[in-house]
Amino acid sequence: MIKQHAKNIRKNILKMVHNAQSGHPGGSMSLADIITILYFEEMDINASNVASIDRDKFVLSKGHASPVLFAVLAEKGLLPESELMTFRKINSRLQGHPNMNYVAGVDMSTGSLGQGISAAVGMALSNQIKKNDYKVYAALGDGEIQEGQVWEAFMSASHYELDNLCVIIDNNDLQIDGDIKKVMNPHPIDAKLKAFGFEVVVIDGHDLEAIRNAFKQFKANKGKPFAIIAKTIKGKGVSFMENQAGWHGVAPNDAQLQAALEELDNE
């Protein structure tokens, strides 16, 4: 069932971006497997508590990947699936970057890269002060961690021993300008996070059991923030999109959409 959810999410990402002829499919699809496990197995989010502050939270720090967030909310039944086709339209609630003021289930408005993780650290610190058990998950792009503010947030998370914070690095090694190692090399990401006081695991971000085990390790972890470095494939699921930086922020045309949907259906 999880595989079907992930497939549906990928198909809706492509349909949304195609319909708008604008958006970011590559990095949305690389995160699809992780976000599916997160929303269907890990977080306590559901129709009855979606508008409440008393639940787990997810911050999409890489806010340009909003299609994956809107698609999973629809797949979960928290957003009408028909509304997905209003993506990036005038007066739509579903814009290129998520806005918490319009959509229940969007826990932080994001888009300026580097800022989402700071908000997530604040949420986790608030939960710690209130002594509740809610978890905070934040997904960052590997290009995003080139931002200095990210490391200030990581340092704060370690200082306050935020073991209720799970940072997910979507490490597909590509950003809008190409190979992250050529643009501004953040590697070794795991060693740097460990040096900043994190417990770190490195996984295949498309291996469902590896994702599940990483979240189990997070929940067992005590005394320090937790990071999952997920080795992913940009454009995962569609062969002609995979590992292509050109699909970072480009919409498929009619023929490409049809070919992509057929490939996903035949997976």
Mean local confidence (pLDDT), 18-44: 98
Looking at residue 258, what is its pLDDT? 98
pLDDT band at 117 (very low <50, low <70, confident <90, very high): very high
Residue 19 pLDDT greater than 90, yes or no: yes
Residues 236 and 233: their CA atoms lie apart, in Å, by 5
Structural domain range at position 94: 2-265
Average pLDDT over residues 218-231: 98
Give me the number of domains the chain comprises: 1
Q: What are the backbone angles phi and psi of residue 9, rounded to the nearest 5°?
A: -65, -45
Residue 153 has pLDDT above 90, yes or no: yes
Contact 207, 215 (CB under 8 A): no
DSSP assignment of 121-188, as one string? HHHHHHHHHHT----EEEEEETTGGGSHHHHHHHHHHHHTT-TTEEEEEEE-SEETTEEHHHHH----
For residue 267, what pLDDT is reported?
84
Q: What is the pLDDT of residue 155?
A: 98
For 21: left if phi > 0, alpha if psi spans -120 to 50, otherwise beta; the answer is left
Asked whether residue 92 carries a pLDDT value surpassing 90, the answer given is: yes
Report how far residue 44's alpha carbon sits from residue 137's, in angstroms, rounded to the nearest whole number. Answer: 12
Between the alpha carbon of residue 56 and those of residues 151, 211, 220, the distances in Å are: 23, 18, 16
Nearest to 35 by CA among 21, 24, 45: 45
CATH number at residue 31: 3.40.50.970
What is the spatial distance between Cα 159 and Cα 147, in angstroms, rounded to a whole number? Answer: 19
* For residue 256, pLDDT beyond 90: yes
Mean pLDDT of 185-209: 98
Stated pTM of the model: 0.97
Query: What value does the mean pLDDT take over residues 239-251?
Result: 97
The tokens of 266 are what? Answer: 């035949």
Q: What angle do CA 31, 15, 61 make, to 5 degrees?
A: 30
**Average pLDDT for 154-170:** 98
